[in-house]
Chains A and B, each alone.
Chain A
Amino acid sequence: MATQNLRHALFCAVVTLVISYPILGLNLEAWGTNVVLTGANTTTVISVLLAAVAVFLFQLFRDRIMGTLGKLPPISPFANREPMPQAKWERLKSAFLTLLIIAGLIWPFVASRGAVDLSTLVLIYIMLALGLNVVVGLAGLLDLGYVAFYAVGAYTFALLSQYFGVSFWLALPIGALLAATFGFLLGFPVLRLRGDYLAIVTLGFGEIIRILLNNWTQLTGGPNGIGGIPDPTLFGMEFGRRVREEGNTSFHETFGIAYSSEHKVIFLYLIALVLAVITALVIRRLMRMPVGRAWEALREDEIAARSLGLSRTAVKLSAFTIGAFFAGFAGTVFASKQGFISPESFVFLESAIILAIVVLGGMGSQIGVILAAIAVTILPELAREFSEYRMLIFGAAMVLMMVWRPQGLMPMRRTHIELKKQE
Chain B
Amino acid sequence: MSMLALEDVHTHYGKIEALHGVSVEVNRGEIVSLIGANGAGKTTLLMTVCGSPQATSGRVILEGRDITREPTASIMRSGIAIVPEGRRIFSGLTVEENLHMGGFFNTKAEIRKSQAYVYELFPRLKEREHQRAGTMSGGEQQMLAIGRALMSKPSMIILDEPSLGLAPLVIKQIFEIIGQLRDEGMTVFLVEQNAHQALGLADRGYVLETGRIRLHDTGANLLANPDVQNAYLGG
Contact = CB atoms under 8 A, between A and B. Distances in A.
Q: What band does the interface of chain B fall in when counting residues whose beta carbon is under 8 Å from A?
A: 20 to 34
B117 interface: no
Given A300-B93, A415-B131, A417-B131, A308 B88 contact: no
B77 interface: yes
Q: What band does the interface of chain A fall in when counting residues whose beta carbon is under 8 Å from B?
A: 20 to 34
Nearest to B83: A307
Given A304-B90, A307-B84, A309-B76, A297 B50 contact: no
Interface stretch (A189-197, A288-296, A354-362): A288-296
Contacts of A299: 92
A300 B132 CA distance: 12
A354 to B, nearest CB: 23
B112 interface: no
Contacts of B226: none
Contact of B73 (A297, A303, A311, A416): A311
A277 interface: no
Contacts of B84: 303-304, 307
Interface in B138-157: 148-149, 152
Nearest to A291: B104
A305 interface: yes
Centre residue among B72, B81, B89 by max chain A CB count within 10 A: B72
A309 B93 contact: no
A306 interface: yes
Interface of A is mostly: helix
B90 A296 contact: yes
A290 B97 CA distance: 10
Given A293-B97, A297-B101, A417-B131, A310 B73 contact: yes
A224 B88 CA distance: 53
A246 interface: no
A423 interface: no
Nearest to A412: B92
Given A300-B90, A304-B84, A414-B92, A309 B131 contact: no
A301 interface: yes
The 9 closest A-B pairs by CB, nearest first: A309-B76, A304-B88, A311-B73, A300-B90, A309-B77, A416-B130, A307-B82, A301-B88, A297-B101
Interface of B: 50, 52, 71-77, 81-82, 84, 88-94, 97, 100-102, 104-105, 130-132, 148-149, 152
28 contacts: A293-B101, A293-B104, A294-B101, A296-B90, A296-B92, A299-B92, A300-B90, A300-B91, A300-B92, A300-B93, A301-B91, A304-B84, A304-B89, A305-B90, A305-B101, A306-B72, A307-B81, A307-B84, A308-B148, A309-B75, A309-B77, A309-B104, A309-B105, A309-B152, A312-B73, A314-B73, A415-B132, A416-B130
Interface of A: 290, 293-294, 296-297, 299-301, 303-312, 314, 414-418
